[in-house]
Amino acid sequence: MQVLTLVNQKGGVGKTTVALGLAATAWARRLDCLVIDIDPQGNATTGLGVWNPPFSVDHALAEERPGSIASLRATSGWPSENGRPPSVVPATPALAAREPQLMTDPIGANNRLSVALEGINHDLVIIDCPPSLGLLTINGLFAADQALIVTEPGAWASDGVEQILQTVKRISSRRTEPLTVAGVVVNRMGRTRDARYWDEQLRSDHGAMVLPAVRLRAAVTEAAANSLPIHALGTRAGAPEAAAEFDTVFDLIVNCEVSDGV
Ligand SMILES: Nc1ncnc2c1ncn2[C@@H]1O[C@H](COP(=O)(O)OP(=O)(O)O)[C@@H](O)[C@H]1O
Ligand SMILES: [Mg+2]
């Protein structure tokens, strides 16, 4: 099982969009994918077609109980024709109160999510983080095999990536198994000179770590707004191209086998 955690301390760069895009690739390939939403905004939860869930990831973070994720999984509302709907551990706004509470744990509350995932088995687990490097994101990183950094080709993106790399390094040094970086996804890539400039900057500063870009496309927003995988939008303008970009990133960073035959 591979656990990927999507991070950036900045909001609006596309963490949730890329999480949903990779889950859409897994959907189309009928992989057994679990998406864990640890952002109180719950955008991944609604993007996956789950509304007003009776339980949330907050239950897993409230205590240190191995395997607690097992009873917190809902099935995504994504269609079951032409794909396999992922499982979802939803987020609700109440999760916002958990972060200050975690800070009061005298022996540290960095690894509650990691403990909650013990014994859980899926082909792929995708964790969508809030826009900060606070304790929710730290829990996401302690639970991960790999961090996937998502950024846009905007001002000082490269400096933001550097900060995340430092955090990943510090977390890695505190674990028995290393935490590695799956790569940097440059999302919302436009055709402007400005976008090209910051994209080049990222590529010259972070080299081979930087993955092929995901372009800015209306179809991507439309898929999320309709709680559909991008792969289910058919021939809608830009949808096949966007789906192909997520497939490309997926193939470069995910190394799981199809579980029960397509
Ligand atoms: N490749 C893209 N093409 C078009 N719109 C995008 C793309 N990536 C993100 N967006 C839009 O940008 C906004 C922020 O993206 P989101 O994934 O919510 O960012 P984050 O999770 O980092 O806060 C959303 O409205 C989303 O639909
Ligand atoms: Mg988000």
Distance of CA 215 to the CA centre of its chain: 18
Q: Is residue 258 part of a domain?
A: no
Mean per-residue pLDDT, 252-262: 68
CA-nearest residue, atom 3 of ligand 1: 216
Number of domains making up the chain? 1
pLDDT in the model for residue 258: 54
pTM of the predicted protein model = 0.97
Q: Is residue 259 part of a domain?
A: no
Q: Which of 7, 22, 19 is nearest to 251 (CA)?
A: 22
In whole numbers, what is the pLDDT of the chain averaged over residues?
A: 96
Ligand 1 site, residue 15, Cβ cutoff 6 A: yes
Q: What is the CATH number of the domain that holds 135?
A: 3.40.50.300
Q: Is residue 134 part of a domain?
A: yes
Q: Is the separation of the CB atoms in 135 and 108 below 8 Å?
A: no
Which atom of ligand 1 is closest in space to residue 39's alpha carbon? 21
Ligand 1 site, residue 151, Cβ cutoff 6 A: no
Residue with tokens 């910051």: 198
Q: Is residue 260 part of a domain?
A: no
Q: 2 pairs with which residues across the strands?
A: 124
Ligand 1 site, residue 122, Cβ cutoff 6 A: no
The string of pLDDT tens digits covering residues 189-228 is 999 999 999 999 999 999 999 999 999 999 999 999 999 9
Integer CA distances (angstroms), 145 to 6, 39, 96, 177, in order:
11, 19, 25, 8
Q: Is residue 192 part of a domain?
A: yes
The string of pLDDT tens digits covering residues 138-167 is 999 999 999 999 999 999 899 999 999 999
Domain assignment of residue 22, given as a range: 2-253
Q: What is the largest CA-CA distance in the chain?
A: 54
Q: Is residue 208 part of a domain?
A: yes
pLDDT in the model for residue 262: 41
Ligand 1 site, residue 91, Cβ cutoff 6 A: no
Q: Is residue 262 part of a domain?
A: no
Ligand number with the minimum distance to the CA of 187: 1
